[in-house]
Structure 1
Amino acid sequence: MKLRSLVSLAVALVAVVILCAGGLGGFLGGNAAAGCIPAAASPAASPSPSTSLLGPPPGWPAIGDWDSDQVGNAAAIVSTGARLGLPARGWVIAVATAMQESTLRNLAGGDRDSVGLFQQRPSQGWGSPAQLQDPVYASEKFFGKLVTISGWQTMPLTDAAQAVQISAFPDAYAKWEAPATQLVTAIADTAGLPTDGLAGCGATGPWTQPVLAPVGSGFRTGDRPGHDGVDLSAPRGTVIRAASAGTVRTARCNAVYADTGAEWGCDRDGHPDLTRGCGWYVDIDHSGGLLTRYCHMDQPPMVTVGQPVAAGQPIGVVGSTGHSSGPHLHYEVHHNGDASPNGAIDPVPFMAAQNAPLGNPPT
């Protein structure tokens, strides 16, 4: 029986709990409705591995930089999360964790007694070595721990993954958020699984935080009077989301040498003294003459000029291009459709007034 037929039958037999609004169209650039903060789900009792929706490799093609074996393992994670009723945000967290821990390889052994996709340790009560080399069992154990973490749905991905894994490198998971989001979306699209909320989870209304991270340098402070926005201290690779629905006005690189104005480029990090400009950045026009700006992206934006975006839709990832001393998101809000410094307003009180205050969520 062909893969899609198997998947269709399995999906028909298994009720996947839909916990968010939004959808795949929003992630891929459509004008889907704003997303939501998903409710926590409780995994069911551990079933046998044969109940996985998609099954282990072989049978999956390579996707992007991931070969068929890696994609098959990611598919086992995704299908397990779907069967247990977790929203797509949980699938992304799990796949990103496995990317960091094992590069999506079902390893027979690792550091000390670590085993499998998540490098879980039998000595710490995760299960036997044989159990932990079953991708479905290992995924169930990961998800079972994840849902016990208060506020995991709205945490930065690296914090949620770290709360489960207790790694010696707690920030290492952040760089995998964008690749995991893209791979999970491709798998779910192929399998016909709903990715409801993947584009916009975290958006509780018309506005949402572009990243969940502490506020660093503020708006037009005494030592930085020309700082027309705020810096959000998110790790490199953190997904940046559109703060509200709108249309992309600008998506480009403008990093130049400070002394000559010659092109510095965005294929490398910028410098706080040698470089000027936002690096890779995006401007989005919103209703009411509002505009938001997102600076210092690590890679070319995920969106293009003229593209409609939904609140919470991924538009790029955090980096340090342009006039920057380290990875963070520089975020600006402008009114009257004025993208110049004359139109800039302080994002902190503005976002608080939209019920989307900047900074980490309360614990």
Structure 2
Amino acid sequence: MSTRVLSGIAVAVAGVLLLCSGLATTLLPGGGAGACDTAAVAPAASSAARSPAPGGVGPVGDWNAEQVGNAATITDVGMRLGVPPRGWVIAVATAMQESSLINTPGGDRDSVGLFQQRPSQGWGTSAQLHDPRYAATAFYRKLQAVDGWQEMPLTEAAQRVQRSAYPHAYARWEPDAARIVAALTGAGASVAACGVTVSGLGWTQPVRADVGSGFRTAGRPGHDGVDLIVARGALVRAASAGTVTVVRCNAVDVRTGRDWGCDRDGDPVLTRGCGWYVDITHPGGVITRYCHLLTRPTVEEGQPVAAGDVIGVAGSSGHSSGPHLHFEVHLGDHNPATAVDPVGFMASVGAPLTQ
């Protein structure tokens, strides 16, 4: 992979760096107000994108230089075709599953190349499919023809294109694919505005806090998120752009089965439920959940939000032993089968959960 191609990736990614949108003035506990001074926000400079090291592409995690180089080609083709960044991640994850990002001369039956596309199924000739740029272009053309692909979970979008015998296999590669795309495009570079830092892939920390109870630990195997330890009243922000799909109070008195109420602290023994909580659905079918808010959230169902928009304040409503934010990430509908560890996911999109 030439440095010219990678330089093109680095420059192009500047166009997808996200700035903090104007936050609506939010009433805070005690009658104070907070607002974002949008006048101070400056456009992102293309120099924010990371330039490739001389001599080509190096390894990323467990993926070697050859594999990352092929991912760079896939990403570059997606950029040139005007495919949104979500599509680059889908394409790279698909090639990870199909070929381990190795441009193989052959595979099962007559399958060829990075995506193991088959001449007998009309993808092109064997020689064409062994050209990574041709193969990536063919994949993206099919993906763009799928109605609603940007709102689908990665594995569903990939399967609509590939028609694989293993339709659920693609999802496992999403964190690695996002990590490689971030490394190639400089998505680790971030834009700071309004006191919020948004990564190049459009994500930010919902709160700046240390992780307390982790994802599905031995002691809490049903804990489908992580607990971020913050003070009562800390601002909670949308982790990425999306649409608010749920605003709800869920707090039940386990002794009576009756409503406990969310405008007071919950209890770790006597109460079950998320308290005041918000769900946000993001492009690609990713859902984030924010639990145990102090008061009714400051957003409404159906409301679009940008990364960093304030959605509420941290508290201890519902099943809770003290102020914190319970944060979940789901790749698809909200249920235990779709939950992923928020620590790994947020690191892969350039917004690690740390102080």
Q: Normalising by structure 2, report the TM-score.
A: 0.52
Give 2:321's aligned residue.
none
Structure 1 280/346 Cα, relative in aligned 2: closer, same or farther at 3 Å? Answer: closer
Give 2:301's aligned residue.
354
1:171 to 162, 168, 177: 168
Task: Indicate yes or no: 2:203 matched with 1:247.
Answer: no
Structure 1 148/336 Cα, relative in aligned 2: closer, same or farther at 3 Å? Answer: farther
1:282 to 219, 226, 229: 226
C-alpha distance in 2 between matches for 1:66 and 1:7: 17
2:115 to 111, 115, 118: 118
- Cα offsets for 1:8-42 (capped at 9, x unmatched): 4x469x8679468369xxxxxxxxx9xxxxxxxxx
1:198 to 201, 208, 211: 201
Structure 1 191/156 Cα, relative in aligned 2: closer, same or farther at 3 Å? Answer: closer
Deviation at 1:251, TM superposition (A): 4.2
AA partner of residue 66 (structure 1):
W
Give 1:230's aligned residue.
none
Give 1:312's aligned residue.
240
Q: CA RMSD in A?
A: 4.6
Counterpart contact for 2:16–2:201, Cα < 8 Å:
no
Matched residue pairs, number? 232
4+ residue runs of structure 1 moved beyond 6 angstroms? 14-17, 190-197, 285-288, 356-359
AA partner of residue 160 (structure 1):
A
Counterpart contact for 1:87–1:197, Cα < 8 Å:
no
Structure 1 160/11 Cα, relative in aligned 2: closer, same or farther at 3 Å? Answer: closer
C-alpha distance in 2 between matches for 1:101 and 1:72: 16
| Bigger fraction of residues in strand | 2
C-alpha distance in 2 between matches for 1:354 and 1:288: 24
C-alpha distance in 2 between matches for 1:249 and 1:190: 23
2:184 to 184, 187, 190: 187
AA partner of residue 354 (structure 1):
E
Structure 1 347/184 Cα, relative in aligned 2: closer, same or farther at 3 Å? Answer: farther
Counterpart contact for 1:248–1:282, Cα < 8 Å:
no
C-alpha distance in 1 between matches for 2:9 and 2:101: 24
C-alpha distance in 2 between matches for 1:343 and 1:20: 42
Counterpart contact for 1:289–1:336, Cα < 8 Å:
no
Counterpart contact for 2:2–2:56, Cα < 8 Å:
yes
Structure 1 93/337 Cα, relative in aligned 2: closer, same or farther at 3 Å? Answer: farther
C-alpha distance in 2 between matches for 1:339 and 1:95: 45
C-alpha distance in 1 between matches for 2:110 and 2:215: 48
Structure 1 356/190 Cα, relative in aligned 2: closer, same or farther at 3 Å? Answer: closer
Partner-residue secondary structure (3-state), 1:89: helix
C-alpha distance in 2 between matches for 1:190 and 1:350: 27
2:63 to 58, 61, 66: 66
Partner-residue secondary structure (3-state), 2:186: helix
C-alpha distance in 1 between matches for 2:89 and 2:102: 16
Structure whose CA Rg is larger: 2
- Cα offsets for 1:194-224 (capped at 9, x unmatched): 9976344xxxxxxxxxxxxxxxxxxxxxxxx
AA partner of residue 227 (structure 2):
D
C-alpha distance in 2 between matches for 1:348 and 1:336: 10
AA partner of residue 283 (structure 1):
D
Consecutive unaligned residues of structure 1, counting only runs of 5 or more, are: 24-32, 34-53, 201-241, 256-265, 293-308, 314-333
Counterpart contact for 1:117–1:133, Cα < 8 Å:
yes
C-alpha distance in 1 between matches for 2:223 and 2:102: 35
Structure 1 335/133 Cα, relative in aligned 2: closer, same or farther at 3 Å? Answer: farther
- Cα offsets for 1:39-59 (capped at 9, x unmatched): xxxxxxxxxxxxxxx99xx82
AA partner of residue 355 (structure 1):
G
C-alpha distance in 1 between matches for 2:189 and 2:278: 39
Report sequence identity in percent. Answer: 43
